[in-house]
Amino acid sequence: MDQQVSQVAQALLQSYNKVLKVNLTTDAYVLIHLKPGEYCFGQEGSLSAWLEDFNRQGFVHPDDQIEFDNFTNLGYLRTFFQQMNGTEDLQYMYRRLVDGAYVWTVMDIVPAVDWSPEDQKAFLIVKDMANESPRDIPPFDQAVRALFEVHEAIFFADTEENVLVPYHMSPFYDKVYNQFFCPANSLNEALQNFVAAYVAAGDREFMTKVARAGFLTAELQPRSSFSCDFRLDVDGQAMWARMEVVALDGAGNAKRLVLCFTDVSHERAQDTDFQGVGNTLLLVEDNELNMMMLTAILEDDFTILQAFNGKEALAVLEENARDIALIVTDLQMPEMDGFELLRALQGMRKYDSIPIVVATASDELETELECLELGASDFVAKPYNPAVILNRVKSFVRLRESTIMLDTLEKDSLTGLYAKEFFLRNMKIEFDQNPQRAYTLMVFDVVGLKTINEKYGEKTGDECLRYLALRCPQYSPNVVCGGRLTGDKLAFLLHDVDMSVDAGNQMCLDIAKGAPAPNLAVRAGAYQVSDQLSAQMACDRALLALEKVKGAYNQFYGEYDDAVREEMMKRQMILDTMEQALEEKQFQVWFQPKHDLHTGVTGGAEALVRWIHPEMGFMNPGMFIPLFEQNGFIARVDHYILEQVCDALQEWSAAGRREIPISVNFSRRDFENPHLVDDIIELVDSRSLKRSLLHVEVTESICSDNPEMVPAAINRLHNEGFVVELDDFGSGYSSLAAMADMDIDVMKLDMSLVRQDSSEPGATSALELSMQIAKTLGVRTVAEGVETEAQMMRVKSLGGDLVQGYYYSRPLPKLDFEAYLDAEEVALKANAAK
């Protein structure tokens, strides 16, 4: 952009003569430039009449008049450009009268970018040459033509002499700049008058700061150009404009500027569906039955577009974004799931006004909060209720228009703070004007706002946000500006605040006092703005600090530091390399033996996933499993682990090894697959394995996620001959309720029961009670986390069946596990021989 602007600016600075925008087909012209002191705003008329008048007034030397008439004949010009198909310039050199003397002059006719045989648009440039040595006219190449076509107003500003030279391309700009942009005005006066008279009220404060010589000079110190968008008020209607500013002499020298103003309403319309709301819905669902149901419910009222995964959805959006009023997406899908789709759409401003409704069978709060943080507007439950779906979709479509306009408003109507776009703009201006000043950016959110809305009503939830918007500035007098980043996240830029974590926690507690909802909790993340970052990046870092304390007990305030940054980098590395890791089989299956207390030998093992990263080496499962559960990738990893276990069981059977049952963990995301049971059966049966050798291990929390689908799947697995283990019994979930609904074969006792000090009141009775429950229900037990002989003996004395833990063995790679079993077999044979 800056090279193009500088190119045309330098060329026109040397012209000092006329520049006309012409149309050879219609014989029309618009005068857009005269030499300094001869300004004509919007003069237009017949091109042939203008050229004839030019010659008749004696400006052309008598010896050149015949050739001039021939050159400027419209028939000749039209024929030439027709033959050249608008690809060549046409130049003619003649002498014209200037201040009583004839000066060699070049007339150059340059086809415009949108030239066509039917509409021959061009620029006519008149340039005087030096008397003693005629020189070629500066080139008006394709980039310069494009610049003329794109920019509707171009003017020069000398920040010392305050000279403005306008170039008009649009009737609107002729009207606007004729009043203010003239040499008599200083740069500051002209721009401020323009802002006051024509800039829309919502952008006036912002443009008042930007449209000053001091700001422009400072902005162009580290670079040679910059741009910003704002809205003009044209006869009561908003029109988006872009101001592009270039230092003609390069970065660090802002004495001579060229300022270009462009109408970008069409571009902004594409970004935000500026023209209104369509009547089309995009349904993203990989399950054909669910897609058919949704389509049947909605097709009478809406036009339906379909995509069967997130990748297809992005392609459909690219082609139909202006028509799409709402997106309804599933979460669990192949190739690109719902979480990945939400993340992808976060970075695309042109789609951010389209509401996204997530269809989910889970009511887990963390899942819903993550979706909301990624930009989801609401949720609908599976199985679908036709009346609820239709009414909710209609409601969102009715509200779409106001949603679109929300981001274009200066102030958020609910909180009174800046809308996100304007908050970021004001941050940038503050940073640019005060580069040496230290700032702190704090982001606040209301913990569990969705729960508050459901329990007390949305009106109370809104009151909580308004309360937070008012209370935070009162708590700190150093607030520069505040904005609403998302539905429940408010940000405040402060002059440097040195606050300890304890003080930050107390601040959050104090702010929450007196809130409209009882027991309101407020969290905050802070970033000390110490380096040259964009406003958006500063917000991202404050949000990461907020994420640091998410779910932490009695901790409400987090600071961005190297640890947070490192965690962010690790998280991103995991997400970036997980697909490759699965393809390259970086994930390994390790086996932790389960010791049978009745027989004294290994009675089974649990299959555990381990990631051996080529760069980071052994990765703790706690680093990647939670991320995989969030984005759904865990389902693919679990399937891979299941395949590896089945292959190992088949290999051991072929080698004549003793049969050892292996338990495989299944995630809540696995049960979102309606074909899960069939997939398991196919994997086991295709290898001719006994189904009882595969233990399906689930936690009670999975059952609470989907109380209809999960128990049905578990019971079917049990009836098909698989062994079902209920993990984490006694960890705090209502496991008895789960066992009442499902056919459980094995109860795994949580390590917290095993590791309690037996001298503590009730410690033994809790473990003993668990054992009694298992015996009453007729299920076997596995005690997890057994690390000492004393713990093993306690479990054995209470009638436990198996124990698992470091007392016998840590998790082992496959070859080490086989060696472990071989050593055990050798010992057994030796004992039998005695």
Determine the pLDDT at residue 802. 95
With 90 as the cut, is the pLDDT of residue 603 above it?
Answer: yes
- Percent of the chain clearing pLDDT 90 (strictly above): 22
Mean pLDDT of 527-541: 80
Q: State the pLDDT at residue 384.
A: 82
- The reported pLDDT for the residue numbered 732 is 47
- Token look-up 């079917």 returns 716
With 90 as the cut, is the pLDDT of residue 660 above it?
yes
Q: Report the DSSP pairing between strands 237-247 and 225-234.
A: antiparallel
Which pLDDT score is estimated for 37? 39
Give me the torsion for CA of 731, 734, 738, 740, rounded to 10°.
Answer: 120
pLDDT of residue 813: 95
**Amino acid making up residue 766:** A
Would you state the torsion angle of the CA atoms of residues 597, 600, 603, 605, taken in this order, to the nearest 10 degrees?
90
Secondary structure (3-state) at 207: helix
Burial 293-319 (b: 16+ CB within 10 A, else e): bbeebbeeebebbbbbbbbbbbebbee
> φ and ψ at 802, to 5 degrees?
-130, 155
Distance (Å) of CA 67 to CA 62, 76, 248, 256, 716: 10, 12, 37, 39, 96
Q: Which residue has the tokens 């430039």?
A: 33
**What's the token pair of residue 650?**
């088949």
What pLDDT shows up at residue 808? 93
Tell me the average pLDDT across 259-282. 62
- Report residue 819 as tokens: 């060696």
Q: How far apart are CA 363 and CA 379, in angstroms?
A: 9
As a whole number, mean pLDDT of residues 378-389 equals: 82
Q: Is pLDDT of 183 > 80? A: no
CA angle 426, 427, 430 (to 5 degrees): 85
Q: Give 308's pLDDT tier (boundaries 50, 70, 90).
A: very high
Segment 199-217 mean pLDDT: 78
Q: Are 11 and 22 in contact (CB under 8 A)?
A: no
Report yes or no: 475 and 499 within 8 Å, Cβ to Cβ: no
Give the separation between CA 467 and CA 328, rounded to whole angstroms.
32
Question: Minimum mean pLDDT among 245-254, 271-280, 289-298, 545-554: which range?
Answer: 271-280
DSSP string, 7-69: HHHHHHHTT-S-EEEEETTTTEEEEEE-STT---SS-EEEHHHHHHHHHHTT-B-GGGHHHHH
Among 94-98, 519-523, 621-625, the least confident range: 94-98
Instruction: Considering only residues 763 and 256, tell me which one the structure prediction assigns the higher pLDDT.
Output: 256
Q: For residue 186, how many C-alpha atoms fall within 13 Å in the half-sphere facing its CB?
A: 9
- CA gap 575, 569 in Å, rounded: 10
Report pLDDT digits (tens) over 402-440. Answer: 444 444 446 676 787 887 878 888 888 888 888 888 888
Per-residue model confidence (pLDDT) at position 246: 79
The confidence band for 385, taking pLDDT boundaries of 50, 70 and 90, is confident
Q: What is the pLDDT of residue 36?
A: 44
DSSP strand E in 250-296: where?
Answer: 256-263, 280-284
Indicate the range of 120-134, 312-326, 676-690, 805-819 predicted with least confidence: 120-134
Mean pLDDT of all residues in 203-223: 75
Q: Tell me the one-letter amino acid at 510.
A: D
Tokens of 654: 């072929």
> 92 burial class (0-12, 13-18, 19+ CB within 10 angstroms)?
middle
For residue 120, which of 90, 155, 160 has the smallest C-alpha distance?
90
pLDDT higher for 226 or 310?
310
Tell me how far apart the alpha carbons of residues 20 and 44 are, in angstroms, rounded to a whole number: 9
> Average of pLDDT values for 771-793?
90
Rounded Cα distance between 606 and 88, Å, is 77
| Average pLDDT over every residue of 254-266 | 73
Instruction: Enter the tokens of residue 171.
Output: 């009737």
* 277 has a pLDDT exceeding 60: no
**pLDDT class of 821 with cuts at 50, 70, 90:** very high
Q: How far is CA 805 from CA 264, 568, 723, 754, in A?
A: 66, 32, 21, 11
Look-up of token digits 């405040």 = 492
Return d(Cα 96, Cα 80) in angstroms, integer: 24
Q: What's the rounded Cα separation, in Å, for the pair 366 and 626?
A: 12
Q: How many CB atoms lie under 10 A from the CB of residue 793?
A: 12
Percentage of the chain modeled with pLDDT above 70: 78
Q: In whole angstroms, what is the distance from residue 710 CA to residue 702 CA?
A: 7
Closest C-alpha among 587, 699, 578 to residue 641: 587
| Contact status, residue 364 vs residue 705, Cβ threshold 8 Å | yes
Residues 707-728: tens digit of each pLDDT: 667 888 999 999 999 999 988 7
Q: Does the bond joining 117 to the residue before it have cis omega, within 30 degrees of 0?
A: no
552-596 tens-digit pLDDT: 778 889 888 877 777 777 777 888 889 899 999 999 999 999 999
43-47, 134-138, 202-206, 621-625: range with highest mean pLDDT: 621-625
pLDDT at 480: 86
Cα separation, 332 vs 672, whole angstroms? 7
Q: Which tokens is 498 given? A: 């040195």
Three-class SS state of 138: coil
Closest CA relative to residue 294, chosen from 392, 404, 183: 392
The pLDDT assigned to 133 comes to: 45
Q: In residues, how long is the chain?
A: 834
- Burial pattern 154-166, b for ≥16 Cβ within 10 A else e, equals bbbbebeebbbbb
Q: pTM, whole model, 2 decimals?
A: 0.45
Which is higher by pLDDT, 156 or 616?
616
Contact 560, 527 (CB under 8 A): yes
**Cβ-count burial of 576 within 10 angstroms (0-12 exposed, 13-18 middle, 19+ buried)?**
exposed
Distance CA 75, CA 69 (A): 11
* CA 464 – CA 453 distance, rounded (Å): 10
Q: Are 607 and 620 in contact (CB under 8 A)?
A: no
User: Mean pLDDT highest for which of 1-5, 210-214, 448-452, 617-621?
Assistant: 617-621
704 falls in which pLDDT band (50, 70, 90)? low
- Residue 738 has a pLDDT of 57
- Helices 187-198, 201-210: axis angle to 10 degrees equals 170
Most confident of 159-168, 263-272, 640-649, 726-735: 640-649
pLDDT(495) > 50: yes
Query: H or E stretch including 725?
Result: strand 723-729
Quick one: CA dihedral 30, 35, 36, 37, positive or negative?
Answer: negative
Q: What is the pLDDT of residue 605?
A: 96
Q: Most distant CA pair in the chain: distance in Å?
A: 131
DSSP state of 351: G
**Higher-pLDDT residue of 44, 386:** 386
Q: What pLDDT does 737 receive? A: 56
How high is the pLDDT of residue 275? Answer: 40
The answer on pLDDT for 370 being more than 70 is yes
Query: Which three-class secondary structure state does DSSP give residue 827?
Result: helix
pLDDT, residue 109, reads 86
Interstrand relation of 378-381 and 356-360 (parallel, antiparallel or unpaired): parallel
| Average pLDDT for 250-267 | 71
Output the average pLDDT for the chain. 79
| Sequence-ordered alpha helix ranges (H) in 686-781 | 700-705, 709-719, 735-741, 751-755, 763-777
What does the alpha-carbon distance between residue 172 and residue 165 come to, in Å, rounded to a whole number? 17
pLDDT of 282 over the 50 cut: yes
pLDDT of residue 608: 96
Mean pLDDT across the stretch 296-309? 90
Other residues' Cβ atoms within 10 Å of the Cβ of residue 447 = 19
Cα distances (Å, whole numbers) of residue 637 to 563, 587, 624: 28, 8, 11
Distances (CA, A) of 606 to 273, 408, 590, 812: 53, 55, 8, 10
pLDDT confidence band for 793 (50 / 70 / 90): very high
- Taking the C-alpha atoms of residue 601 and residue 829, their distance in angstroms, rounded to an integer, is 12
Cα–Cα distances in Å, from 319 out to 301, 313, 338, 624, 816?
21, 10, 20, 35, 55
Higher confidence at residue 120 or residue 233? 120
